[in-house]
Chains A and B, each alone.
Chain A
């Protein structure tokens, strides 16, 4: 991410944070809060969960910033933390899901309460899209989101999620197939 004129580079801010400057970390949060929130919302599909995940992402980043590798872009490093935070949280939820939902197809299933007061012309679309993405298994949703929303390559997704590229492609294919069924009414008719 190119820095606008007059703004310190991410690396300068990171060095200051490593020296104990909390204000520099505040500046980094100002730069990347929205981007991190976008990732966490795509994975968690609820504002409250995305908010919690974003907060946890920055807390973990602050803790680990002493180990930050400057060869990475800061946002890439931050996004990796965010994805891990979300997937860990989703795994934790699945681990404690003791009673399957009725008519479950055997795959992990999320049922989220829609955000309050969705307004605008795409309110219905948003609700349906959230519901459709929520019905995807977590691992498929993560791959799909990283590919479509974050526009990561297969290799990047593979590295980020520590899975083979073939697994990335298969999960991506299954996610697309299922989403096409769930969102058929919004897609061009065959």
Chain B
């Protein structure tokens, strides 16, 4: 190979790559026509290129591409690192700003609602003028059953008797019930509710003619999950645990909101054990026609157009409780509220004050449902009424516990 051949061989790479100037191409081609070694070199390089191009990368399965794109998109969507997001455009910046502003508004709303939940007194203080009426005797507080109204109890009331009066007036408010439908006149819109006069933040306004939500709050302020059901146009302090068959509600701060459709019957229970003895729930009705200084027109018209029921002449009475077979080993006294219909049948049993033992409470409820009762008498006729019925379970002395303690009567 002479010097001329060496020069040309140095151009062969660029020649087969098409990178040579036109003049050099002519020189190389002229040399190739007379140099077999140069032609072999060119042929070998071209064969090498053809060989490499011939072997394509392995073709993955068709679903591989979808899978790969899915992985990339998932990574892009779930990537938390800021650097993995595309550069923000002006539109993104506004969107981000709007998102942050919205988040701040939500936090503010939650803070306000939480403050109101934690400090129930702040709510009660809004209706302070109504509070004195709550100190009236229960028989006067309680509305007639035909109106479907729910009476009100203060926590310091002897009937409640489970917690001391709060240091700050108004902080005793524990459960606030909106209102209840009238059992006898379900079509008639009822009354004023605290929920109406003081809308719950975040809750939709009640529809006209519909009973608004019930608003309940645990007495001890502890959050719990529980259930609400029951029959209750009656006031009461409900302690302990009771079964739920209708609707469960969840609370984050001990404040429960119940749909209106369950407001015609009311039972409050909680699954968690009270944080301290006596801690429980107070049902507070929003509908207090006789104590409300300014009932709404709908309530006034309804009350004026229909007669209010009167108190019975004689209360309902317990005649007999069944034998205490299978009584639990725990001892304790459960105060029940038993709804005795005009026929003497029991239509509902509520736990007014828990014994502190679910087993004892459940047993007392079962026992009360099987009891025999004499209905209350009003205007010479049997009428439905509520009966307060303390039931004590003392396995060691069953003969004494069979008798109810100081049964009382409520309407």
How far is A173 from B88 in the complex, measured between Cα atoms in Å? Answer: 45
The SS class assigned to the A binding surface is helix
Tell me, yes or no, whether A80 is within 8 Å of chain B by CB. no
Q: List the 9 closest pairs (A to B, CB-CB), nearest first.
A: A66-B87, A41-B57, A29-B69, A58-B72, A187-B47, A126-B55, A129-B55, A33-B65, A148-B52
Binding site for B on A (CB under 8 A): 17-20, 22, 25-26, 29-30, 33-34, 37-38, 41-42, 47, 50-51, 54-55, 58-59, 62-67, 115, 118, 122, 125-126, 129, 133, 144, 147-149, 153-154, 169, 172-173, 176, 179-180, 183, 186-188, 190
Q: A30-B65, A55-B68 are in contact. List 7 more A-B contacts (CB 8 A).
A: A37-B60, A47-B58, A186-B51, A187-B48, A187-B51, A188-B40, A188-B43
Q: Which of B19, B51, B89 contacts A183 (CB 8 A)?
A: B51
Q: Which of B17, B83, B84, B89 contacts A18 (CB 8 A)?
A: B89
How far is A122 from B52 in the complex, measured between Cα atoms in Å? Answer: 12
How far is A50 from B56 in the complex, measured between Cα atoms in Å? Answer: 13
Please determine whether B55 and A63 come into contact, CB atoms closer than 8 angstroms.
no
How far is A190 from B55 in the complex, measured between Cα atoms in Å? Answer: 23
B323 nearest CB across to chain A (Å): 72
Given A65-B86, A190-B40, A29 and B49 contact (CB-CB distance below 8 Å):
no
Q: Across the interface, which residues of A come within 8 angstroms of B54, CB to CB?
A: 122, 125
The SS class assigned to the B binding surface is helix
How far is A140 from B75 in the complex, measured between Cα atoms in Å? Answer: 33
Please determine whether A67 and B87 come into contact, CB atoms closer than 8 angstroms.
yes
Mark interface residues in B72-86 (1 if CB within 8 Å of A CB, else 0).
Answer: 110111000001111
Q: Which of B13, B45, B55, B73 contacts A22 (CB 8 A)?
A: B73
Given A19-B91, A176-B48, A54 and B68 contact (CB-CB distance below 8 Å):
yes
Please determine whether A29 and B72 come into contact, CB atoms closer than 8 angstroms.
yes
Please determine whether A63 and B86 come into contact, CB atoms closer than 8 angstroms.
yes
How far is A107 from B125 in the complex, measured between Cα atoms in Å? Answer: 85
CB-nearest residue of chain B to A145: B52
Q: Across the interface, which residues of A come within 8 angstroms of B68, CB to CB?
A: 29, 33, 51, 54-55
Tell me, yes or no, whether B27 is within 8 Å of chain A by CB. no
Please determine whether B73 and A26 come into contact, CB atoms closer than 8 angstroms.
yes
Given A30-B69, A154-B17, A188 and B47 contact (CB-CB distance below 8 Å):
yes
Q: Across the interface, which residues of B come within 8 angstroms of A19, CB to CB?
A: 89, 91
How far is A50 from B65 in the complex, measured between Cα atoms in Å? Answer: 13
Please determine whether B55 and A125 come into contact, CB atoms closer than 8 angstroms.
yes
A186 nearest CB across to chain B (Å): 5
**Which parts of B60-115 form the interface with A (CB within 8 Å)?**
60, 64-65, 68-69, 71-73, 75-77, 83-89, 91-92, 95
CB-nearest residue of chain B to A33: B65
Tell me, yes or no, whether B44 is within 8 Å of chain A by CB. yes
Q: Across the interface, which residues of B come within 8 angstroms of A42, CB to CB?
A: 57
Q: Across the interface, which residues of B come within 8 angstroms of A47, CB to CB?
A: 57-58, 60
How far is A147 from B52 in the complex, measured between Cα atoms in Å? Answer: 11
Tell me, yes or no, whether B400 is within 8 Å of chain A by CB. no
Please determine whether B19 and A115 come into contact, CB atoms closer than 8 angstroms.
no
Please determine whether A148 and B49 come into contact, CB atoms closer than 8 angstroms.
yes
Q: Across the interface, which residues of A come within 8 angstroms of B69, CB to CB?
A: 26, 29-30, 33
Tell me, yes or no, whether B53 is within 8 Å of chain A by CB. yes
Tell me, yes or no, whether B308 is within 8 Å of chain A by CB. no
Tell me, yes or no, whether B247 is within 8 Å of chain A by CB. no
Question: Which of B17, B75, B86, B87 gathers most chain A CB within 10 Å?
Answer: B86
Tell me, yes or no, whether B198 is within 8 Å of chain A by CB. no
Q: Across the interface, which residues of A come within 8 angstroms of B13, CB to CB?
A: 169, 172-173, 176
Please determine whether B83 and A63 come into contact, CB atoms closer than 8 angstroms.
yes
Given A59-B75, A169-B14, A179 and B65 contact (CB-CB distance below 8 Å):
no
